[in-house]
Amino acid sequence: MLALTDARKKANEKYIQNNYKQVKLSMPNAEAETLDQYCKSKGLTKAGFIRQAIKEKMEKES
């Protein structure tokens, strides 16, 4: 895999800054560990899993 050039890194950062918003989530250590283990066992990222869970919940309740 090729390394990212400085220009590509800067472009990526600019895109993320303009198109994404970070949302902070705090949870008890035990819950965080359970989430981490679950995501690892399923080959998921925590962020991706959380986004999908939120999307499904919102669609279900609409």
Distance in angstroms (rounded) separating the CA atoms of residues 16 and 20:
5
Q: Are residues 50 and 39 in contact, defined by beta-carbon separation less than 8 angstroms?
A: no
- Tell me, what DSSP letter sits at residue 2? P
> For the segment 5-44, what is each residue's pLDDT rounded down to a tens digit?
999 999 999 999 999 999 999 999 999 999 999 999 999 9
Q: What is the DSSP string of 23-42?
A: ------HHHHHHHHHHHHHH
Distance in angstroms (rounded) separating the CA atoms of residues 11 and 5:
10
pTM for this prediction: 0.73
pLDDT band at 46; cut points 50, 70, 90: very high
Per the structure block, which two tokens stand in for 9? 């890194």
